[in-house]
Each structure stands twice: as C-alpha cells, then as structure tokens.
Amino acid sequence: MSEGRCLPGSAQAEYTIHFKAVVWKPYKGEIVDGQVASVVDSGFFVDVGPLSVFVAKAMIPSDIKYDGNATPPQWTDNGDQVIEKGTHIRVKIKGIRGEIGAMYAIATIKEDYLGYEFYTIFIKRFHEETTQLNSASMFCHYLWT
C-alpha cells in the first residue's frame, strides 16, 4: 500500500493498493471434491471451498437411503457407504446460482466414479502407492549409500 495522498478540496485520502487474489469459478459439469457440511432428509450440503453445494434426494443413488435415527443423521446403503457430516465426497455440479457475495450449486452423485465410495477408494490407493514409492526410494537410497 502506498502512502496516502490528500485530495484537494476534500477530507478524502487516496491510496494505491496492490494485491493478489485466488479466483475459482465453478462450471456446470465440473467434478469437485468436498466435505459434507450437513445432512437433511431431502439431501445433504457439501462445502467445496467457498461454494455451498446441495445434493438432493433425486441426485443420490436409490440404494442409499436417509437414516434420521442414526447419530449423527446419515445417508447410507447399510454397507460400506455412509454419508454424514464431515464425510469427504466427490460430486458433479449440475447447476450454479450466484448472488452478490455468495454462490450456490446443485450436484449429483448418481454417476460413475462419484460419491463416498469412489473417493475413499481413490484416496486409499493414492496413499498406498505413495507409501510404496517412499519405501522403494528409501530402499534404493539404502543400496546406494
């Protein structure tokens, strides 16, 4: 920020400011990863950075049902998939609405490679491969020293 300069004939000051901004504009059809913020019987809300995304009941696979009696409330297939507050999930944006100072979207998990199960499997595989690579590089380092 520069030094202030008084504007003649007024009590105002003028400053020159330089800044950088991180800008992200989501688009329809984009696949994003987020974290479940809240679960309701009509769907669930996902936080994707500054974007609030709603996944409606119609956009959730039919084998995943709402369980309001669970603590905390969740969407589940009574198997491996449990979507509750804090769950990391992958969604596909179907529509976006913007207002001054806020942006909202609707999304789906009904397509292939979306939802909780795929995201979890992908992350587990990534960590396993990373661990194997680290072990291999440590072994190579050991052989060469």
Say yes or no to pLDDT of 117 above 70. Answer: no
CA dist., res. 51 & res. 12, Å (int) = 36
- pLDDT, one tens digit per residue, over 59-85 is 999 999 999 898 899 999 888 788 999
Q: How confident is the model at residue 108 (pLDDT cuts 50, 70, 90)?
A: very high
Identify the structural domains of the chain with CATH numbers, from first to last. 27-144 (2.40.50.140)
Model confidence pLDDT, tens digit, residues 123-140: 666 666 655 545 444 444
**Threshold 0.95, pTM exceeds:** no
